[in-house]
Amino acid sequence: MAAYFSIVLVVVTLLTGIVWALDRWVFGKQRQAKLQIAQNAAQGELPEEVSSQLLKEPGWIENCKSVFPVLLVVLILRSFLYEPFQIPSGSMKPTLLVGDFILVEKFAYGLKDPIFNDTLIPTGQPKRGDIIVFKYPRNPKLDYIKRVVGLPGDKVIYKDKQLTIVPKCEQDKCPAPIKVTRELLAQGQFHERGYPLDTYQEQLGKVSHRILINPYLADNPSTYFQQDGTDSTEFIVPDGEYFAMGDNRDNSEDSRYWGFVPAHNLVGRAVAVWISFEFNHSANSWLPSWVPTGVRFNRIGAIH
């Protein structure tokens, strides 16, 4: 849906911009010429209402000129600066909750054209721990949001719910493996499919964040994305691609299951929650499920 909106926004902005330009340099001058001919025929100034009528823009031109500046500002903001997204699932709990509306910094990883997502001006690359929005590699019409775990060249190991990262060797120097540390914060604060979840504080490189683990649900490496020559719990990140995981580790369809995120698919970096709605409907509630039941003002702010 977001991809179609981008295309429609670009096309409508382009069309209204063409009308604006034609009126400024063609149609407007034609109306001025008609006014001058009428004044010459009358051998003097025409009544104000007659002059106004001759200079009056057709309704469709007036409407296009009115909406073009607004559309242009929206296009620039949405395509190159910040774009709003809604969190539709719980795969990033507890960092992001269903009902969070976030702002994505579009220029974090390069200025891209709004239709083909090709990089026009490179501005940076994802860092380990960044929360990224990207086009789902198996269906680019869908936008996914996950946390960057593996960088190009890394070996990512996820075994028995423990994350280990072996960084890429640089100039014959191979850094020691990074065993991502975590500290138990709470038990049963969140639930998933009837199971109480453990909340941990995880240290991923320089980034500290919370994750959820279901201690009652065993890993199933047989369902993981398989690479030739690697163990089922190991993933070697190709150049120009990234390994992304959800913070809700046992309820996230991420790189463990479908592979890697190409740099071309990156949309931007999630930076803030600008509004957050609750959807706690009781069994006998008459409200539709999409109608919010409250606002979580305490969640508004930067994302960590």
Q: 182-213, pLDDT tens digit by residue?
A: 999 999 999 998 899 999 999 998 899 999 99
pTM of the predicted protein model: 0.89
Residues 75 and 159 placed together within one structural domain of the fold? no
User: Residue 290 pLDDT more than 80?
Assistant: no
- Are both 73 and 106 inside the same structural domain? no
The catalytic position among 6, 91, 252, 255 is: 91
- In tens, the pLDDT along 244-256 reads 999 999 999 999 9
Count structural domains, the chain: 2
Residue range 229-258: mean pLDDT, rounded: 96
Domain end among 81, 116, 144: 81
Is 257 within 8 Å of 247 (Cβ atoms)?
A: no
Q: Which of 6, 135, 146, 255 is catalytic?
A: 146
> Looking at 58, 81, 104, which one is the last position of a domain?
81
- 16 lies in which domain range? 2-81
Q: Are residues 193 and 235 in the same domain?
A: yes
Active site residue 91: yes
E runs forming strands in the chain: 82-86, 100-105, 111-112, 119-121, 131-135, 143-150, 155-159, 162-166, 178-179, 181-192, 195-204, 207-213, 234-236, 241-245, 261-262, 266-278, 294-295, 301-302
**Any catalytic annotation for residue 208?**
no
Q: In terms of domains, do 51 and 112 share one?
A: no
Q: Mark whether 186 and 277 lie in a shared domain.
A: yes
284 and 208 co-located in one domain = yes
